[in-house]
Amino acid sequence: MPQNNLSDQAPDNKFNRILHSHKNLINFQFPAQEDYDFYWPAEHFGLEKSSLFRALSLFEQEKILILHSNHVLNEAYFIEQAGMKFAAKMILQAELTENAQFYCFMSSDEAVHLQILKKYLKLSDSNFLKQSSFLQLLHQIIEELEPQKLLYLVQIILEGWGQNHYLKLSKSCLNQEFKSDLQKILKDEALHTLAGKTLLKPKSFSIEQKTDLIDKLSAYASMIRKGELSSIKIIDFSLGGLSKQTKIKFLEEIDNLKTTQKKLELLMNLAAQTGMEEIVQSVCDRNLFEPCSNHETVNF
Ligand SMILES: [Fe+2]
Ligand SMILES: [Fe+2]
């Protein structure tokens, strides 16, 4: 596990009060004006298509939506936290003043995004970070890789992914205040991705570096092709141990393969930057842009 994961301080800590007097946070309404138990409807997760979900009581359905909402918020929270770390590394490694300046601004954007998520996520779950293989990989990549690789893997692919993710979240968000906060984040992420595309030098990669990029892109694809694992885990946890057949039926009904295929296409398109085609082709040759079967997914 990466050494440098951040933990959170109590809100009444003295340093927290200093942090909140910074001009970027001083006008922050905290907590959110309206308190919601969950921020996205069943349709956002495709749950309305599941006969299992529809047959549950309103109380049980809400419980599952709260857990889905918490999953989304925790994931976004820790990705923004990693974003601050990424920008800090890029500041240190920048060769031009203007590049360093950009990453200082970007770091500040990510800190604000983190604060936005704090408004809605009452308590971040440190176990979420420890248990997420994606977040662990992200931290490892940020700590170990050199700037050009990071531009490709984090600033272009993951920020581009984030842009798409936040767009979907803002479209179906039930809370107007959060919806407009998500749109603000989205605007920043678009600029971060654009800067990454502008600074990427595909010709600078050696054969060894390309091999590493292929491995890392393969790792991303391998995680995504597993499909809606978090939904399965939440449903299984809430309802107390479902059979394999029930899980497979659930995945079929929520169109897991179709959704996963779309996600893999998005990843492929983000990775297919001019000059990076051979990286994408190598991952394609490993058949990693194809979803796992529903049967395989329930066995993970
Ligand atoms: Fe961000
Ligand atoms: Fe960003």
Distance between first and last Cα of the chain: 20
Q: What is the pLDDT of residue 273?
A: 97
Inter-axis angle of helices 133-144 and 207-224, nearest 10: 160
> Would the pLDDT of 1 be above 70?
no
The single residue listed with the structure tokens 């992914």 is 161
Q: What is the pLDDT of residue 96?
A: 96
Q: Rounded distance, CA 20 to CA 208, Å?
A: 45
Q: What is the pLDDT of residue 241?
A: 84
Residue 31 — very low, low, confident or very high, per pLDDT cuts 50/70/90?
low
CB-based neighbours (< 5 A) of ligand 1, an ion: 80, 83, 110, 113
Q: What is the pLDDT of residue 222?
A: 97
> Would the pLDDT of 3 be above 60?
no
Q: Rounded distance, CA 61 to CA 56, Å?
A: 6
The mean pLDDT value for 282-290 works out to 98
For the whole prediction, is pTM greater than 0.85?
yes
Q: What is the pLDDT of residues 103-141, one digit of tens each?
A: 999 999 999 999 999 999 877 788 898 899 999 999 999
At 65, list the tokens.
Answer: 């939506």
Interacting residues of 296 by C-beta distance below 8 A, sequence separation 6+: 226
Could you tell me the distance, in angstroms and rounded to a whole number, from the CA of residue 138 to the centre of ligand 2? 14
Closest ligand relative to 110 C-alpha: 1
Q: What is the pLDDT of residues 46-89, one digit of tens each?
A: 999 999 999 999 999 999 999 999 999 999 999 999 999 999 99
Q: Rounded distance, CA 102 to CA 258, Å?
A: 38
Q: How many Å separate Cα 230 from the centre of its chain? A: 13
**Residue 201 contacts residue 240 (beta carbons within 8 Å):** no
Q: Rounded distance, CA 32 to CA 151, Å?
A: 34
**Residue 2 contacts residue 93 (beta carbons within 8 Å):** no
The mean pLDDT value for 9-18 works out to 80
> Would the pLDDT of 266 be above 80?
yes
Based on the number of CB atoms within 10 Å of its own CB, is 129 exposed (0-12), middle (13-18) or buried (19 or more)? buried
The mean pLDDT value for 255-265 works out to 97
- CATH-assigned architecture of domain 45-299: Up-down Bundle (1.20)
Mean pLDDT of the chain: 93
Q: What is the pLDDT of residue 203?
A: 96
**DSSP secondary structure letter of residue 26:** T
CA atoms 273, 279, 284, 287: torsion sign: negative
The mean pLDDT value for 222-250 works out to 94
Q: Rounded distance, CA 76 to CA 74, Å?
A: 5
* 112 CB neighbour count, 10 Å cutoff: 18
Q: How many Å separate Cα 130 from the centre of its chain? A: 15
> Would the pLDDT of 2 be above 60?
no
Residue 300 — very low, low, confident or very high, per pLDDT cuts 50/70/90?
confident
275: alpha, beta or left, given left = phi > 0 and alpha = psi -120 to 50? left
Could you tell me the distance, in angstroms and rounded to a whole number, from the CA of residue 48 to the centre of ligand 1? 30
Least confident of 22-26, 44-48, 152-156: 22-26
Least confident of 79-88, 187-196, 237-246, 289-298: 237-246
Percent pLDDT > 70 in the chain is: 97
**Residue 81 contacts residue 6 (beta carbons within 8 Å):** yes
Q: Rounded distance, CA 125 to CA 122, Å?
A: 10
Could you tell me the distance, in angstroms and rounded to a whole number, from the CA of residue 191 to the centre of ligand 1? 10
Closest ligand relative to 81 C-alpha: 1
Could you tell me the distance, in angstroms and rounded to a whole number, from the CA of residue 77 to the centre of ligand 2? 12
